[in-house]
Protein backbone atom coordinates (compact mmCIF):
# COMPACT_ATOMS: atom_id res chain seq x y z
CA UNK A 1 0.00 0.00 0.00
CA UNK A 2 2.83 2.42 0.81
CA UNK A 3 4.17 1.83 -2.70
CA UNK A 4 0.82 2.66 -4.24
CA UNK A 5 0.50 5.78 -2.11
CA UNK A 6 3.97 6.86 -3.20
CA UNK A 7 2.95 6.29 -6.81
CA UNK A 8 -0.11 8.51 -6.35
CA UNK A 9 1.81 11.24 -4.54
CA UNK A 10 4.65 11.26 -7.07
CA UNK A 11 2.54 12.97 -9.75
CA UNK A 12 -0.13 15.55 -10.39
CA UNK A 13 -3.82 14.82 -10.89
CA UNK A 14 -6.93 16.49 -12.32
CA UNK A 15 -8.68 16.19 -8.97
CA UNK A 16 -7.72 16.72 -5.36
CA UNK A 17 -8.16 13.25 -3.86
CA UNK A 18 -8.08 12.74 -0.12
CA UNK A 19 -5.74 9.86 0.64
CA UNK A 20 -6.00 7.37 3.52
CA UNK A 21 -2.96 8.82 5.33
CA UNK A 22 -4.66 12.25 5.52
CA UNK A 23 -2.64 13.78 2.67
CA UNK A 24 -4.09 15.02 -0.64
CA UNK A 25 -3.08 14.76 -4.26
CA UNK A 26 -1.68 17.83 -5.95
CA UNK A 27 -3.31 18.95 -9.19
CA UNK A 28 -1.88 20.01 -12.53
CA UNK A 29 -4.02 23.17 -12.44
CA UNK A 30 -2.80 24.37 -9.07
CA UNK A 31 -6.21 23.78 -7.46
CA UNK A 32 -7.91 26.26 -9.81
CA UNK A 33 -10.65 23.79 -10.76
CA UNK A 34 -11.35 22.44 -7.29
CA UNK A 35 -14.27 24.85 -6.85
CA UNK A 36 -16.24 23.40 -9.75
CA UNK A 37 -15.78 19.85 -8.49
CA UNK A 38 -16.68 20.87 -4.93
CA UNK A 39 -19.85 22.67 -6.00
CA UNK A 40 -20.98 19.71 -8.09
CA UNK A 41 -20.28 17.27 -5.26
CA UNK A 42 -22.25 19.46 -2.83
CA UNK A 43 -25.24 19.45 -5.19
CA UNK A 44 -24.96 15.72 -5.79
CA UNK A 45 -24.57 14.89 -2.11
CA UNK A 46 -27.57 17.07 -1.20
CA UNK A 47 -29.65 15.35 -3.90
CA UNK A 48 -28.74 11.86 -2.68
CA UNK A 49 -29.56 12.80 0.92
CA UNK A 50 -33.01 13.98 -0.21
CA UNK A 51 -33.80 11.04 -2.48
CA UNK A 52 -32.40 8.27 -0.27
CA UNK A 53 -32.93 9.26 3.38
CA UNK A 54 -32.59 5.60 4.43
CA UNK A 55 -28.95 5.39 3.27
CA UNK A 56 -27.13 4.11 0.23
CA UNK A 57 -26.11 0.55 1.14
CA UNK A 58 -28.45 -1.03 -1.45
CA UNK A 59 -27.64 1.35 -4.28
CA UNK A 60 -25.60 0.88 -7.42
CA UNK A 61 -24.34 3.71 -9.63
CA UNK A 62 -22.60 4.26 -12.93
CA UNK A 63 -20.50 7.33 -13.69
CA UNK A 64 -20.48 7.93 -17.45
CA UNK A 65 -17.20 9.62 -18.45
CA UNK A 66 -15.71 9.20 -15.00
CA UNK A 67 -12.27 10.67 -15.83
CA UNK A 68 -10.04 9.72 -12.84
CA UNK A 69 -13.08 8.56 -10.89
CA UNK A 70 -13.38 11.43 -8.40
CA UNK A 71 -17.19 11.43 -8.26
CA UNK A 72 -17.31 7.64 -8.42
CA UNK A 73 -14.92 7.30 -5.49
CA UNK A 74 -16.94 9.88 -3.54
CA UNK A 75 -20.03 7.73 -4.11
CA UNK A 76 -18.13 4.64 -2.99
CA UNK A 77 -16.94 6.56 0.07
CA UNK A 78 -20.54 7.59 0.81
CA UNK A 79 -21.41 3.89 1.07
CA UNK A 80 -23.06 2.90 -2.21
CA UNK A 81 -22.93 -0.85 -2.69
CA UNK A 82 -21.27 -0.75 -6.07
CA UNK A 83 -20.04 2.00 -8.39
CA UNK A 84 -19.02 1.54 -12.02
CA UNK A 85 -16.81 3.97 -13.94
CA UNK A 86 -17.11 4.21 -17.73
CA UNK A 87 -14.37 6.20 -19.46
CA UNK A 88 -12.96 6.34 -23.00
CA UNK A 89 -9.34 7.20 -22.06
CA UNK A 90 -7.27 4.25 -20.89
CA UNK A 91 -4.96 6.48 -18.83
CA UNK A 92 -7.98 7.79 -16.87
CA UNK A 93 -9.21 4.23 -16.31
CA UNK A 94 -5.79 3.23 -14.98
CA UNK A 95 -5.78 6.30 -12.71
CA UNK A 96 -9.26 5.49 -11.36
CA UNK A 97 -8.21 1.93 -10.61
CA UNK A 98 -5.12 3.12 -8.77
CA UNK A 99 -7.06 5.64 -6.70
CA UNK A 100 -9.74 3.05 -5.86
CA UNK A 101 -7.05 0.59 -4.79
CA UNK A 102 -5.36 3.16 -2.56
CA UNK A 103 -8.70 4.16 -1.03
CA UNK A 104 -9.70 0.53 -0.50
CA UNK A 105 -12.83 0.69 -2.68
CA UNK A 106 -12.79 -2.94 -3.78
CA UNK A 107 -16.34 -2.87 -5.10
CA UNK A 108 -15.65 -0.34 -7.85
CA UNK A 109 -15.78 -1.57 -11.45
CA UNK A 110 -14.06 -0.03 -14.45
CA UNK A 111 -15.16 -0.12 -18.07
CA UNK A 112 -12.80 1.26 -20.69
CA UNK A 113 -15.16 2.35 -23.45
CA UNK A 114 -16.64 5.18 -25.43
CA UNK A 115 -20.16 5.48 -24.03
CA UNK A 116 -21.53 4.98 -27.55
CA UNK A 117 -19.76 1.61 -27.84
CA UNK A 118 -21.28 0.24 -24.65
CA UNK A 119 -23.44 -2.85 -24.77
CA UNK A 120 -26.17 -1.52 -22.50
CA UNK A 121 -27.75 -4.96 -22.11
CA UNK A 122 -24.48 -6.38 -20.84
CA UNK A 123 -23.74 -3.43 -18.55
CA UNK A 124 -27.17 -3.67 -16.89
CA UNK A 125 -29.12 -1.00 -15.05
CA UNK A 126 -28.19 1.19 -12.08
CA UNK A 127 -30.12 3.01 -9.39
CA UNK A 128 -28.09 6.18 -9.99
CA UNK A 129 -26.61 7.32 -13.30
CA UNK A 130 -24.17 10.24 -13.41
CA UNK A 131 -23.29 12.18 -16.53
CA UNK A 132 -21.20 15.12 -15.38
CA UNK A 133 -19.14 17.35 -17.65
CA UNK A 134 -19.75 15.17 -20.71
CA UNK A 135 -22.80 16.20 -22.75
CA UNK A 136 -21.27 19.40 -24.16
CA UNK A 137 -18.31 17.45 -25.57
CA UNK A 138 -20.55 15.25 -27.72
CA UNK A 139 -21.86 15.38 -31.29
CA UNK A 140 -24.74 13.09 -30.34
CA UNK A 141 -26.13 14.47 -27.07
CA UNK A 142 -29.60 13.01 -27.68
CA UNK A 143 -28.12 9.52 -28.06
CA UNK A 144 -26.23 10.04 -24.80
CA UNK A 145 -29.45 10.97 -22.99
CA UNK A 146 -31.22 7.92 -24.46
CA UNK A 147 -28.36 5.74 -23.19
CA UNK A 148 -28.66 7.30 -19.74
CA UNK A 149 -32.37 6.48 -19.71
CA UNK A 150 -31.68 2.87 -20.74
CA UNK A 151 -29.14 2.43 -17.93
CA UNK A 152 -31.16 4.21 -15.24
CA UNK A 153 -33.49 2.51 -12.75
CA UNK A 154 -34.20 5.51 -10.57
CA UNK A 155 -32.16 8.75 -10.48
CA UNK A 156 -30.27 10.49 -13.27
CA UNK A 157 -27.96 13.39 -12.45
CA UNK A 158 -26.58 15.38 -15.36
CA UNK A 159 -24.33 18.43 -15.25
CA UNK A 160 -23.42 20.34 -18.36
CA UNK A 161 -22.41 23.60 -19.91
CA UNK A 162 -25.47 25.26 -21.50
CA UNK A 163 -25.85 27.99 -24.14
CA UNK A 164 -28.34 30.87 -24.34
CA UNK A 165 -31.54 29.49 -25.84
CA UNK A 166 -33.99 30.59 -28.50
CA UNK A 167 -37.71 30.22 -28.08
CA UNK A 168 -40.79 31.24 -30.03
CA UNK A 169 -42.59 29.92 -33.09
CA UNK A 170 -41.02 28.88 -36.40
CA UNK A 171 -42.46 28.12 -39.80
CA UNK A 172 -41.75 24.47 -40.39
CA UNK A 173 -42.00 24.08 -44.17
CA UNK A 174 -44.88 26.51 -44.59
CA UNK A 175 -46.44 29.50 -42.80
CA UNK A 176 -49.45 27.25 -42.24
CA UNK A 177 -47.37 24.76 -40.35
CA UNK A 178 -45.92 26.56 -37.36
CA UNK A 179 -44.12 24.84 -34.54
CA UNK A 180 -42.84 25.97 -31.13
CA UNK A 181 -39.10 25.84 -30.48
CA UNK A 182 -38.23 23.73 -27.47
CA UNK A 183 -34.79 25.25 -26.98
CA UNK A 184 -31.68 25.21 -29.11
CA UNK A 185 -28.14 23.89 -29.44
CA UNK A 186 -24.87 25.79 -29.80
CA UNK A 187 -22.14 24.32 -31.97
CA UNK A 188 -18.66 24.50 -30.45
CA UNK A 189 -15.45 23.52 -32.22
CA UNK A 190 -13.11 21.38 -30.13
CA UNK A 191 -11.70 19.54 -33.15
CA UNK A 192 -8.15 20.77 -32.51
CA UNK A 193 -8.29 19.74 -28.88
CA UNK A 194 -9.47 16.11 -28.98
CA UNK A 195 -6.08 15.02 -27.61
CA UNK A 196 -6.83 16.97 -24.37
CA UNK A 197 -7.54 14.86 -21.29
CA UNK A 198 -10.94 16.47 -20.75
CA UNK A 199 -12.17 16.56 -24.36
CA UNK A 200 -14.57 14.43 -26.39
CA UNK A 201 -13.66 12.01 -29.15
CA UNK A 202 -14.67 13.99 -32.25
CA UNK A 203 -14.44 17.63 -31.16
CA UNK A 204 -17.82 18.46 -32.70
CA UNK A 205 -19.76 19.64 -29.69
CA UNK A 206 -23.47 20.30 -29.54
CA UNK A 207 -24.26 22.25 -26.39
CA UNK A 208 -27.93 22.50 -25.36
CA UNK A 209 -29.82 25.41 -23.89
CA UNK A 210 -31.36 24.58 -20.53
CA UNK A 211 -34.82 24.47 -22.17
CA UNK A 212 -33.54 21.99 -24.77
CA UNK A 213 -31.97 19.83 -22.07
CA UNK A 214 -35.04 19.66 -19.83
CA UNK A 215 -37.39 19.08 -22.80
CA UNK A 216 -35.15 16.28 -24.11
CA UNK A 217 -34.93 14.59 -20.72
CA UNK A 218 -38.72 14.32 -20.65
CA UNK A 219 -38.86 13.18 -24.29
CA UNK A 220 -36.40 10.32 -23.75
CA UNK A 221 -38.52 9.04 -20.87
CA UNK A 222 -37.52 10.74 -17.62
CA UNK A 223 -39.99 12.40 -15.27
CA UNK A 224 -39.66 14.94 -12.43
CA UNK A 225 -36.96 16.88 -14.25
CA UNK A 226 -35.50 19.50 -11.90
CA UNK A 227 -32.82 22.13 -12.45
CA UNK A 228 -30.94 22.30 -9.14
CA UNK A 229 -30.48 25.61 -7.35
CA UNK A 230 -26.75 26.18 -6.82
CA UNK A 231 -25.59 27.32 -3.36
CA UNK A 232 -24.52 30.95 -2.77
CA UNK A 233 -20.84 29.99 -2.78
CA UNK A 234 -21.14 27.93 -5.99
CA UNK A 235 -18.49 27.97 -8.69
CA UNK A 236 -19.28 30.99 -10.89
CA UNK A 237 -20.43 29.03 -13.94
CA UNK A 238 -23.06 27.20 -11.93
CA UNK A 239 -23.99 30.25 -9.93
CA UNK A 240 -24.69 32.30 -13.07
CA UNK A 241 -26.42 29.55 -15.05
CA UNK A 242 -23.66 28.92 -17.63
CA UNK A 243 -23.61 25.34 -16.40
CA UNK A 244 -26.48 23.51 -14.77
CA UNK A 245 -26.98 20.38 -12.75
CA UNK A 246 -30.30 18.68 -13.42
CA UNK A 247 -31.93 15.66 -11.81
CA UNK A 248 -34.52 13.40 -13.37
CA UNK A 249 -36.31 10.24 -12.22
CA UNK A 250 -37.49 7.10 -13.93
C1 LIG B 1 -14.68 17.41 -18.82
S2 LIG B 1 -14.26 15.76 -18.41
C3 LIG B 1 -15.47 15.43 -17.15
C4 LIG B 1 -15.04 14.36 -16.20
C5 LIG B 1 -15.96 14.12 -15.00
N6 LIG B 1 -17.19 13.45 -15.39
C7 LIG B 1 -16.25 15.40 -14.30
O8 LIG B 1 -17.33 15.94 -14.46
O9 LIG B 1 -15.37 15.90 -13.56
C10 LIG B 1 -14.88 14.84 -19.79
C11 LIG B 1 -14.54 13.36 -19.71
O12 LIG B 1 -15.34 12.67 -20.65
C13 LIG B 1 -14.57 11.67 -21.27
N14 LIG B 1 -15.26 11.39 -22.53
C15 LIG B 1 -15.49 12.26 -23.54
N16 LIG B 1 -16.23 11.69 -24.51
C17 LIG B 1 -16.50 10.41 -24.08
C18 LIG B 1 -17.22 9.32 -24.62
N19 LIG B 1 -17.83 9.43 -25.81
N20 LIG B 1 -17.27 8.18 -23.93
C21 LIG B 1 -16.65 8.05 -22.72
N22 LIG B 1 -15.95 9.05 -22.14
C23 LIG B 1 -15.88 10.22 -22.81
C24 LIG B 1 -13.20 12.32 -21.40
O25 LIG B 1 -12.19 11.36 -21.63
C26 LIG B 1 -13.08 13.02 -20.04
O27 LIG B 1 -12.60 12.13 -19.08
Task: Read off the pLDDT of residues 49-107 as tens digits, 9 standing for 90 and up.
Answer: 999 999 999 999 999 999 999 999 999 999 999 999 999 999 999 999 999 999 999 99
Q: What is the pLDDT of residues 122-150, one digit of tens each?
A: 999 999 999 999 999 999 999 999 999 99
**Best substitution site from 34, 41, 43, 65 to test ligand 1's pocket, by max atoms within 8 Å of Cβ?**
65
Domain ranges of the chain: 2-249
Query: Is residue 200 lining ligand 1, measured as CB closer than 6 Å?
Result: yes
Residue burial 166-200, b: 16+ Cβ < 10 Å; e: rest: eeeeeeeeeeeeeeeeebebbeeebeeeeeeeebb
- Atom number, ligand 1, closest to the C-alpha of residue 86: 21
User: Per the confidence metrics, is the pTM higher than 0.95?
Assistant: yes
User: What fold characterizes domain 2-249?
Assistant: Rossmann fold (3.40.50)
DSSP 128-147: EEEEES-GGG-S-HHHHHHH
Amino acid sequence: MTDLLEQVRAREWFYTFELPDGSRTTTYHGGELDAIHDTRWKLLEHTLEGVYPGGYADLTAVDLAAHQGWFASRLAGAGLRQVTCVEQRDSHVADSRLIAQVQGFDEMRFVHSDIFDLDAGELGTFDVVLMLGLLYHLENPVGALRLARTLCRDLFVIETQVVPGMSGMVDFGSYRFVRPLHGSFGLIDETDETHGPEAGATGICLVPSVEALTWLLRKVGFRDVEVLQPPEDAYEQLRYGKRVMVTARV
